[in-house]
Amino acid sequence: MTITEEQIKAFTDSAQQAARLIKEKAENGGCIQVASHLDADGIAAAGVIGKALLKLDANFRIRIQQWVDEKIVGELVSDKPDLAILSDMGSGYLELLCKGFKGIDAIILDHHQLLGENTCPTLTHVNPHQQGIDASRDLSGAGVAYFVAKALDNTNVELAPIAVVGALGDLQDKYEQKSLGGLNRIIVEDAVKAGVLKEEKDLIFFGRETRQIHKALANTTSPFIPGISGEEDKSLAFLASLGIKPKHGDKWRALRDLSEEEKTKLCSALVDYLVSKGYSSNALNLVGNVYTLLREEPWTPLRDAREFSVLLNATGRLDKPSLGVALCMGDRSAALDQANQTLDEYRRTITKYLSWIMEKPGRIEELGNVYVVRGDDFINEKVVSTISSILSTNLAKPDKPLLAYAKVPEEDQVKFSARTLDMMTARGLNLGEIMRAAAEKFDGRGGGHNIAAGAQVPIEYVDDFIKYVDVLVKQQLGR
């Protein structure tokens, strides 16, 4: 769907309105509280806002949260801020926020589907859905934050690469050959024009810039390659079978060092291998647009935008989000070393969970209209969304959405994550609506995008919730 100039202007006008309020509060020395989501996009959004506030010499504090509820709003309000900013979350909780922020100036910078109406005169809401823009693919939370930062000061175009990282972390590369489109395209063009980003076609693997070839293959989880992901020795054997040398003399080679002939050979062999394992064509997007951050040092995980996004996701999912925010705001010292260690742990964790799921076919349970992965207390609830994203693109028959859940430690709650593919949303499937309706029926909260959504539900309703989601999917698809 083409975005019109009128839609773009209406959205940027709303961003400028938020920027004016932020600037006013900053110049008056007001206390600004920022709360953002813990995934890669949310951390990137927090970094963009934080850097913009730092440039204004503002008095601010950033906190990273897993979701929005009465407790989180209460904590923000208890600090008596002059301004509260929610980034990459909030649009699905308008009634709650209007009640909680009554009499307090607040801004929502989000891209999730809207629920309810903004009836609070002190609540400024910036969300491309209000202009009829598909924000599940055309703009991320970090992108919304970027447009506000750019409205604050045009020199903030230097933050465009961080917004690109956020969009890729939110899997918005859904245009031709895994490129970014919609309002994200404006951000990419800003970054390229400013000389801080390069866009080109190449193999898309984790560690394209930084890892030895066999390690890049072993660390690839999207797609998850059975017998290769997590297995460096088998990755080396796979390369040897193709006649691709992992070293040039005594120096290890990275994917970026391969010749075009070698890249073609590797790509073809991997496609054949994955097809032999029953993977669908949706899992075989091995070549596409790659985004290189030109101001970052080669051989660091910040050089490639997708790798940067995985690094941010790792810090958020493993309870170290401050490292991710620091990186987005420019810290390249101790924070980078600690984040790299966190990333290694995160990759091992993801591989462990995927291997556990793949070792027994029954762990991906097929119901009438959905697939279900019961992570219970084995899968970390902060990682379950990553697992569902990877699995949804690796399904042999991607004809149904995937629903995964994990228990929330020390709470009588479970965290659900639902994912589907564009082919399903084109048929009218909207997971955000389904997860919201099902969660509300069973005393929980839910929402998100049409293609990706989540919910928190009391543990005693797990089976009832799954059955109801199955029914709602059937109804939406008219099966």
What is the percent of the chain where pLDDT is above 70? 97
The owner of tokens 């839910």 is 446
- CB 60: neighbour CB atoms within 10 A? 21
pLDDT for 119 equals 82
Q: What contacts 304, CB < 8 A, 6 or more positions away?
A: 208, 209, 210, 290, 291, 292, 293
Cα dihedral 204, 347, 391, 449 sign: negative
Cα–Cα distance for residue pair 171/173, rounded to 1 Å: 6
Residue with tokens 């097929």: 366
Q: Is pLDDT above 60 for 82?
A: yes
* d(C-alpha 296, C-alpha 300), whole Å: 7
Instruction: Give the whole-angstrom CA distance, residue 476 versus residue 401.
Output: 12
At 231, is the pLDDT very low, low, confident or very high (cuts 50, 70, 90)? Answer: confident
**Cis bond before residue 223 (omega within 30° of 0):** yes
According to DSSP, residue 153 is labeled: -
| CA–CA distance, 143 with 388 (Å, rounded to integer) | 23
What is the pLDDT confidence band of residue 286, given thresholds at 50, 70 and 90? confident
The answer to whether the Cα torsion of 208, 212, 218, 219 is positive or negative is: negative
* CA distance linking residue 238 with residue 260, whole number of Å: 18
In the predicted structure, residue 293 carries a pLDDT above the cut 90: yes
Cβ contacts of residue 388 below 8 Å, gap of 6+?
A: 373, 402, 403, 404, 417, 418, 419
Tokens of 245: 């040398």
* Per-residue model confidence (pLDDT) at position 75: 87
| Dist. CA 153–CA 294, nearest whole Å | 22
119 in Cβ contact with 137 (< 8 Å): no
Residue pair 301/279 in contact (Cβ under 8 Å)? The answer is no
Confidence of residue 124 (pLDDT cuts 50, 70, 90): very high
Confidence check: pLDDT of 281 > 60? no
Please determine, for residue 60, whether its predicted confidence score (pLDDT) is greater than 80.
yes
Domains and CATH numbers, the chain: 5-193 (3.90.1640.30), 202-357 (no CATH), 361-477 (3.10.310.40)
At 1, is the pLDDT very low, low, confident or very high (cuts 50, 70, 90)?
A: low
Closest CA to 7 of 134, 93, 187, 102: 134
Run of H or E residues at 44: helix 40-55
Task: Judge contact between 160 and 142, C-beta under 8 A.
Answer: no
Lowest mean pLDDT across 6-10, 205-209, 364-368: 205-209
Question: How would DSSP label each residue in 392-461?
Answer: HHH-SS-SS-EEEEEEETTTTEEEEEEE--HHHHTTT--HHHHHHHHHHHTT-EEEE-SSEEEEEEEGGG
Confidence of residue 289 (pLDDT cuts 50, 70, 90): very high
* Each residue's pLDDT tens digit, 352-395: 999 899 888 889 999 999 999 999 999 999 899 999 988 887 76
Residue 182, pLDDT score: 96
pLDDT at position 280, please?
61
State the pLDDT confidence band at 102, using cuts at 50, 70 and 90. confident
Closest CA to 178 of 137, 236, 206: 137
| Beta-carbon contacts of residue 73 (< 8 Å; ≥ 6 apart) | 96, 97, 100, 101
| pLDDT score for 177 | 87
Question: If you average pLDDT over each of 61-70, 185-194, 289-298, which comes out highest?
Answer: 185-194
Residue 175, classed as helix, strand or coil, is strand
Find the mean pLDDT for residues 228-234.
Answer: 85
Question: Helices H, strands E: what count in the chain?
Answer: 17, 15
> Which pLDDT score, from 0 to 100, does residue 38 have?
93
For 321-362, the pLDDT digits (tens) are: 999 999 999 998 888 899 989 988 998 999 899 989 988 888
Whole-angstrom distance between the N-terminal and C-terminal Cα of the chain?
Answer: 26
282 has pLDDT over 80: no
- What would the two tokens of residue 71 be? 């407790």
CA-only gyration radius of the chain, Å: 22
Alpha carbon 279 to chain centroid, angstroms: 23
